[in-house]
Amino acid sequence: MKKGILLLTIVLLNAIHLNAEIIITKSNRGLFGYKHIVEQQAEGQHRLDCSDPGRMRCKSSLGTIVVSSENGDLQPFELTETQFDAIDLYVENQLLSLNESGNFVYDNLCFVKFYYDPTSDFLEIRIYSIQEAQLLNLI
């Protein structure tokens, strides 16, 4: 019973918590990029899913990405194309240095977590606003 209440509390807290994050996934990359790029925007979250060998770069078609939390309790999180490229390049360099996971604060603007599975060639990058990273006790 106690476990059930605890679980319910966690679920409710998660539901109440309002994200402001950017999630990027890259899977089965080819030598020159990707075939499929799916971009989804929602309040609190922006997703970019890139997959399979092709010639497209895994980047947002919007240029600047703006993420607002669902009820506006967090400041809107904004990431320009240049900032996105710099984060992407940093993560790629980490992978080339054989670091398959890690995190870092980028330019006092956001907190970045990444994870790569070499077996499935799957990379996930999560970018949080500093405010959200603090709320989530990530920093």
Partner 1 sequence: MMIKFGLAGLIVFNCLTAFSYTIITKDNGGWFGFRTVTESHSGPNHQLACADPGRMKCEFGTAFGGITQGGEVINLQSFEPIENMILDLLAIENSILAGEFYFESDFFIKYSYDLNADRLTIEIYTLHEASCLGFI
Phi–psi pair at 134, nearest 5 degrees: -70, -40
CA distance 61 to 92: 20
Contact positions with partner 1 (CB under 8 A) in 68-107: 92, 95-96, 98, 100
111/127 Cα distance (integer angstroms): 6
Q: Which is nearer to partner 1, 15 or 96 (CB)?
A: 96
34 binds partner 1 (CB under 8 A): no
CA–CA distance, 121 with 18 (Å, rounded to integer): 30
Which of 63, 72, 76, 118 touches partner 1 (CB under 8 A)? 118
Task: Give the nearest distance from C-beta 30 to partner 1 in angstroms.
Answer: 4
Which of 94, 100, 93 is CA-nearest to residue 117? 100
Choice between 53 and 63, CB closer to partner 1: 53
Quick one: 54 or 102, whose CB is closer to partner 1? 54
Q: Out of 11, 32, 66, 101, which residue is the one contacting partner 1 (CB under 8 A)?
A: 32
